[in-house]
Structure 1
């Protein structure tokens, strides 16, 4: 049994089919890249997994237990953490206070929650900036702060939405190091990413969506050689 399993998930918004019969899995401590052209349905898949919307058909399980249809808070308590395409930090709060909001999900006593916040700030190399307002941080720092806040909820699966977008090559390498460290903690990562040079070298598996449907699922090498994937990105010859 895989950690995360999507079983024939279909999600419609009126007449728009955003996901159509999508099935794939994520194993424990595995890095899986979820890629595809703009409008492929990647974020909708994330939203279904994290409880922001419910599938019209199919279901989603975490460790064999159904999570589709749960609220975002219930999904977080079940062990699903999430970052967003735009780093949604609380800009008037310090970096430490931002991570504290995640830690309070499982640690109701402030001393324990603060220790968790410090732990994850160190993990993403932001401890020296702990007392700075998050709104004063760079884009790269805010992305890592959002990751730290999600990690503070103690997930078994972390959904990361374009955490490398807009970063320079040095910052991409820094984020890649963070992702690899997350896996070393036994936490699985499902990553939506357009920066293929960041995700391809580190992913154990790549899932490709196009127009709402899965068109490929395999190792980075297998997916890169897939005619369907090449056509989706470059167009039919």
Structure 2
């Protein structure tokens, strides 16, 4: 779909953000594909305490999920994203010999993402605004409307909060969890993954449902 067609389909900021969020999250299937490898790694480690076997199972499941996507000719984007994360975690764990290092990249990612979003809010260039730019065809035109900037700031806060919660809970477990750290990290990663994201999405949809902010298309040069 062209930028012009998307603009017609989404004549308000709220509609554009809802549509872009749906694409970004990948729906129920995307959630399951993100959770399965982590569940497999955690269960395997708890039952066998064999790092290599647990890593093989986790990565293999990700590859199988990717193969299914390719066979069905559906978008592999969400599985690839998950596979990259799993592979990085496996690298950290295999290099250190410590199973809990499997979860370190996720903690660092959430910390970095939180910082980036916080900076975007402080500077009044909230990251959600660029979702609107992707629809209008002008990545920065939305910034000229103070009302849109204010709305995008609020929406970006709702994306930031789950990341901060994950770091606040998982980092102490990683540092001080001792022998039970792997099981605790696996459980918290699953419970604080998509459930928190869905809660944030629900809050965003509620906020988006309260207004109808018109999208102002970029002015074409004379």
Higher strand share: 1
Q: TM-score, structure 2 length as denominator?
A: 0.28
Q: TM-score, structure 1 length as denominator?
A: 0.27
Of the two, which has the highest radius of gyration?
A: 2
